[in-house]
Structure 1
Amino acid sequence: MILNHIWGLYAHPKEEWRTIEKRHESYMYSVVHILTIALIPAICSYFATAHIGWSIGAGPVIKIAESSALAMSVAMYFGIIVGVLALAYLIQWMAITFKASPDFSQSLELASYTVTPLLMVGLTALYPVLWFVTLSGLAALAYSIYLLYSGTPIMMNIPEESGFIYSSSVVTCGLVLLVALMAVSAIMFGMGFSTEYIR
């Protein structure tokens, strides 16, 4: 089953990382995992923006036209996939410095399972209240970082001390990548991808 490691990553992450490392699933397994999980924030955001509406403070509920919401959700879906593939590439590229030699499948496994909590928290978009979504997102980000720190030494077969520095480097690059994706999104919408609001 595609999603068979998710419960283990929440219930007993270190043991689950060891299971993932022993099994070394195929490249396609990790790709299908990320293609499936990335649907959660894309679909939930579409329904939240087009049908439920966002509540920001005490102001009125704001909705976006279905066509605009669909375009944003599709762009989000592909942006997530590109972001995870880029993160996997960075993990593999930086491995040389830390005397690890993962193939791209291992790097993609680490990247895709690490970002899983961040993508699953997309379910909170179905209750589109800004403070709730923000707090849930921060909690998911913290857990994703924990998964990265706990999984890197196991998946890369390096000592924990090296794994800590390696993980810190990946977190830094991941944050830069996230900011770059946000900047590209802002530029795209600034270039004429207009959004139609409904009140």
Structure 2
Amino acid sequence: MKQHPLSSLLTDPGGTLLAIARSDHARTQSVGRCLPLLLLLPPVCAAVGGVVFGWRLGTSEPLYLDTGQTITVSLLYLLALCFGFFSTVLLARWMGRTYGATAPLEVYVAFFTVVSAPLAVASLAHLFPHVFFNILGMIPALIWSMTLLYRGLPAVLHIPPERGMLMSSALVGWLLVAAVSLLGISAGLWTAGLGPAIRI
């Protein structure tokens, strides 16, 4: 029985990475087709959870946004995810030449789709948007994604493990800088009065 590519990302990520490494064009394309769903899942779950339950910070009362503001924040969340994903793909492809990788762009897209799948699925925790609950859900997913990144990148790009470790660490550094920059920009806009109006 043929396994759906989305379920194979979660149940057999190693096999999926091996197929990508073998330049299985059909499998690579099928993995890439899962990307829109994985990008849409976090903002949709965050929007639904925010409207139904409201965001909870500790034991305080839940915080709510108006429906229009919730949609706007979710769209910005989607744009941030798209920017993060595609900028990482392009940066990895550019960086890969330094480490001796010659893989085409679709291989990078498929690889980072596999790496990001655990985080996307863990975003189901956004349906109940309590900060600590979401942190507890994201930590194992982050460890899983980092494991896939460090173990899978040298195999998929056909580079030595030492180079793969260095390249993976450089990409993690880029993602950390981008995440902190996004937080800083968000805080600055909110302080300037451009953030959404919260109601309790």
TM-score normalised by length of structure 1: 0.87
Give percent identity, aligned residues only.
23
Deviation at 1:62, TM superposition (A): 1.5
Match of 2:177 in 1: 176
Q: Does the C-alpha gap of structure 1 residues 34 and 10 become closer, same or farther in structure 2, counting only changes over 3 Å?
A: closer
Match of 2:18 in 1: 18
Match of 1:76 in 2: 77
Greater shift, 40-49 or 21-30, is seen at 21-30
AA aligned to 2:136 is: L
Q: Does the C-alpha gap of structure 1 residues 191 and 24 become closer, same or farther in structure 2, counting only changes over 3 Å?
A: farther
Q: Does the C-alpha gap of structure 1 residues 30 and 180 become closer, same or farther in structure 2, counting only changes over 3 Å?
A: farther
In 2, distance between residues paired with 1:152 and 1:79? 23
- Which stretches in structure 1 are left out of the alignment for 5+ residues? none
TM-score normalised by length of structure 2: 0.86
Deviation at 1:91, TM superposition (A): 0.7
AA aligned to 2:61 is: P
Q: Does the C-alpha gap of structure 1 residues 195 and 33 become closer, same or farther in structure 2, counting only changes over 3 Å?
A: same
Match of 1:7 in 2: 7
Task: Check conservation: 2:189, 2:195, Cα contact below 8 A.
Answer: no
Match of 1:153 in 2: 154
1:137 partnered with 2:138: yes
Deviation at 1:125, TM superposition (A): 0.9
Task: Check conservation: 1:50, 1:69, Cα contact below 8 A.
Answer: yes
In 1, distance between residues paired with 2:74 and 2:111? 25
Task: Check conservation: 1:37, 1:119, Cα contact below 8 A.
Answer: yes
SS at match of 1:17: helix
Deviation at 1:30, TM superposition (A): 5.9
In 2, distance between residues paired with 1:17 and 1:37? 17
Q: Output one character per residue of 1:138-182: Cα deviation in whole Å (capped at 9) or x when no partner.
A: 221111111111210121011222222221122112222222333
AA aligned to 2:131 is: L
Deviation at 1:192, TM superposition (A): 4.1
- In the alignment of these two chains, the number of paired residues is 197
Q: Does the C-alpha gap of structure 1 residues 31 and 73 become closer, same or farther in structure 2, counting only changes over 3 Å?
A: farther
In 1, distance between residues paired with 2:10 and 2:31? 18
Task: Check conservation: 2:89, 2:108, Cα contact below 8 A.
Answer: yes
AA aligned to 2:67 is: E
Deviation at 1:76, TM superposition (A): 0.6
Q: Output one character per residue of 1:172-199: Cα deviation in whole Å (capped at 9) or x when no partner.
A: 1222222233333334444543312222
Task: Check conservation: 1:34, 1:81, Cα contact below 8 A.
Answer: no
Task: Check conservation: 2:56, 2:130, Cα contact below 8 A.
Answer: yes
In 2, distance between residues paired with 1:158 and 1:174? 22
AA aligned to 2:172 is: V
1:110 partnered with 2:107: no
